[in-house]
Structure 1
């Protein structure tokens, strides 16, 4: 099964899971708009609609439970468009290699809740993978290992997501 068919299958399953979570989360008149402190990192990514490949990779690496856990975590989350920049054969190979995939994904995660106002004061940050990412700020532009931060401070119950435009590699 190629990655596109696998993604369609997983996305359909994620949609059903996310829909169930949203319905369960909305009892008592609570109005969550998809992002917010009530959902964990994985649920927030699922409901955002732009992280389908990331969520598929998190599932393939067996990291759902970890990133749904207490945290807190800061995730530099590549969009589907960022993953699309990787040649399909390379992405398929990465998805199939659990160790390499886990290394790449945990390289996008920093322990603790690091908000944008804190990120801009750093020159590097140690990732859960064990290596450090380089952080640079030029005016309004923040870069993480060459990936541009395009949206910040998407809050989750167990941390925060900052959206990046490329997949960064350890």
Structure 2
């Protein structure tokens, strides 16, 4: 069940929550901070710092070395349109991401999976949408 509407934007909430420091640094580097601070509504499936820690060093270096290209592409893949709690996204199957391509959303053993990554911090309500913390960085094909 989603909590009441938060008092901060997605960008502000990610910045204030200590679990998403790598994600917010990446959002800033790719120039997406104004999007996540804007009107919305958007839903962000944000990889936690632990999720970034699972990326191979070469992959992380390739992404951070190309903030306006590869990194931007990966980050936009984690953004959906609308204010979508877990109870809604698990029913969408293949919603279109901000990148313009779809992502598979399923549910297994009561856990919502965004592109195969478990949603382990669901339903963080914000003034302009929703954040779901996920346990893996999802790389689009």
After TM superposition, the score normalised by the length of structure 1 is 0.76
Question: C-alpha displacement at 1:89, in angstroms?
Answer: 3.0
Larger gyration radius, structure 1 or structure 2 = 1
Partner in structure 1 of residue 58 of structure 2: 89
Question: C-alpha displacement at 1:36, in angstroms?
Answer: 5.7
How far apart, in 1, do the equivalents of 2:57 and 2:15 lie? 22
- 1:40 has 2:35 as partner: no
Partner in structure 2 of residue 140 of structure 1: 110
Match of 1:165 among 123, 127, 135: 135
Where relative contact order (Cα < 8 A, 6+ residues apart) is larger, the structure is 2
Question: C-alpha displacement at 1:88, in angstroms?
Answer: 2.2
How far apart, in 1, do the equivalents of 2:26 and 2:112 lie? 25
Q: Residue 124 of structure 1 aligns to a residue in which SS? A: coil
Q: Residue 8 of structure 2 aligns to a residue in which SS? A: coil
Kindly provide the CA deviation profile for residues 62-91 of structure 1, in whole angstroms up to 9, marking residues without a partner as x: 111111100000000100010011122321
- 1:115 has 2:85 as partner: yes
Kindly provide the CA deviation profile for residues 30-78 of structure 1, in whole angstroms up to 9, marking residues without a partner as x: xxxxx96211001101111010000000011011111110000000010
Kindly provide the CA deviation profile for residues 104-141 of structure 1, in whole angstroms up to 9, marking residues without a partner as x: 00000001111111112221211000111101112311
Q: Residue 46 of structure 2 aligns to a residue in which SS? A: strand
Partner in structure 2 of residue 56 of structure 1: 25
How far apart, in 1, do the equivalents of 2:92 and 2:58 lie? 35
How far apart, in 1, do the equivalents of 2:15 and 2:58 lie? 24
How far apart, in 1, do the equivalents of 2:73 and 2:9 lie? 21
More helix by share: 1
Q: Residue 95 of structure 2 aligns to a residue in which SS? A: strand
Query: Tell me, which stretches of 5 or more residues in structure 2 are unaligned?
Result: none
- 1:71 has 2:71 as partner: no
Q: 1:36–1:44: 8 Å Cα contact kept in structure 2?
A: no
How far apart, in 1, do the equivalents of 2:133 and 2:83 lie? 14
How far apart, in 2, do the equivalents of 1:42 and 1:36 lie? 15
